[in-house]
Structure 1
Amino acid sequence: MSLHLPSEIIVERFLPTVRAMLAAELDEQGLTQQEIADELGVSQAAVSQYVRGDVTVEQRFADDQRLQSTVKTIATGLATGSMDSYEALGELLAVIREFEDRGPICAVHEEEMPALAGLGCDLCVRGTDDTVEQERSALAAVRRSARRLANTPGIAAVIPNVGTNVGTAIPEASDETDVAAVPGRLQTVGSRVLVPADPEFGASKQVASTILAAMSVESDLRGAINVATNDPLLDAAREAGYEPMDFDASYENRQQRLRESFADRGSVPRVIYHEGAFGIEPITYVFGETATEATARLLDLRERIEG
Structure 2
Amino acid sequence: MRTPSSFWAEVVLPAIRARIAKILYSKGYSQIKIAKELGVTQAMVSKYLSKYSLPEVLKPIGDEIDTIALTIAEMIEKNAKKEDIIKVLERKFFDFLLDEKFCRLYEKYSKVKGIICREILPGISKKEILDELARALDILLNDDKFPGLIPEIRSNFAYAMPNPKDVDDVAAIPGRITLVKERPYAMPPEFGVSRHTARLLIKISRYNPSIRAVLNVRFGEDVERALEKSNLKVYYLPRKNRGEEETEDEIAETFREESWDVVVDLGGYGVEPCVYIFGRDPLEVVGKLKKIEQNL
TM-score, normalised on structure 2?
Answer: 0.55
Unpaired segments of 5 or more residues in structure 1? 1-76, 92-129
1:242 Cα deviation after fit:
2.2
SS at match of 2:138: helix
User: Map of 1:2-17 to 2, 5 A cutoff?
Assistant: none
The 3 A distance-change label for structure 1 pair 237 and 134 is farther
Partner residue of 1:224? 214
C-alpha distance in 2 between matches for 1:182 and 1:153: 20
- The verdict on how the C-alpha distance between 1:157 and 1:151 changes in structure 2, with shifts beyond 3 A counting, is same
The answer to whether the 8 Å contact 2:264/2:274 transfers is: yes
Measure the CA separation in 2 of the matches of 1:211 and 1:303. Answer: 27
Correspondence list, 1:32-111, <5 A? none
Check if 1:188 corresponds to 2:179: yes
The one of 281, 297, 307 aligned to 2:272 = 281
2:262 aligned with 1:271: yes
Whole-Å separation in 2 of the counterparts to 1:166 and 1:139: 11
| Aligned residue-pair number | 180
Q: Which residue of 2 aligns with 1:152?
A: 143
Secondary structure of the residue aligned to 2:217 is: strand
Match of 2:248 in 1: 255
Aligned with 1:244 (options 234, 246, 250): 234
Shift of 1:212: 2.2
Secondary structure, counterpart of 1:253 in structure 2: helix
The aligned runs of 1:119-158 (5 Å cut-off) are 133-158=124-149
CA RMSD of aligned residues (A): 2.5
* Alignment partners' CA distance in 2, 1:304 and 1:185: 25
TM-score, normalised with respect to structure 1? 0.53
State the SS of the aligned residue for 1:177. Answer: helix
Structure 1 residues 261 and 154 mapped into 2: Cα distance closer, same or farther (>3 Å)? closer
- Is 1:210 the counterpart of 2:203? The answer is no
C-alpha separation between the residues in 1 aligned to 2:149 and 2:194? 19
- Residue-by-residue CA offset, 1:162-182 (whole Å, 9 max, x unaligned): 211111101011222211001
Mapped contact 1:142–1:182 kept (Cα < 8 A): no
Q: Which amino acid aligns with 1:253?
A: E
Give, as a single letter, the amino acid of the residue that structure 2 aligns with 1:198: P
Deviation at 1:186, TM superposition (A): 0.6
Q: Which residue of 2 aligns with 1:115?
A: none
- Letter of the 2:141 partner, please give it: A
- How big is the shift at 1:81? 9.2
Given that 2:214 and 2:282 are in contact with CA atoms closer than 8 Å, whether structure 1 keeps it comes out as: yes
Whether the 8 Å contact between 1:164 and 1:187 is mirrored in structure 2 is: yes
Equivalent residue of 2:295, what SS?
helix
What residue ranges of structure 2 are gaps of 5+ in the alignment?
1-74, 88-121
Measure how far apart 1:279 and its partner are.
4.6
Supply the distance in 2 between the matched residues of 1:191 and 1:240 (Cα, whole angstroms): 26
Aligned residues: percent identity? 24
Cα 1:192–1:82 change in 2 (3 A) is farther
2:293 match: 302
Larger radius of gyration: 1
Q: Residue 246 and residue 253 in structure 1: after superposition, are their counterparts in 2 closer, same or farther (change >3 A)?
A: same
Q: Alpha-carbon deviation of 1:82?
A: 5.8
Residue 228 of structure 1 deviates from its aligned partner by 0.5
CA separation of 1:249 and 1:171: change in aligned 2, threshold 3 A: farther
Structure 1 residue identity aligned to 2:147:
A
Residues 180, 202 of structure 1: 8 Å contact kept: yes
- Partner-residue secondary structure (3-state), 1:224: strand
Structure 1 position 256, deviation (Å):
2.5
Q: Distance in 2 between matches of 1:259 and 1:211?
A: 8
Specify whether residues 220 and 136 from structure 1 end up closer, same or farther in structure 2 by C-alpha distance, changes over 3 A only: same
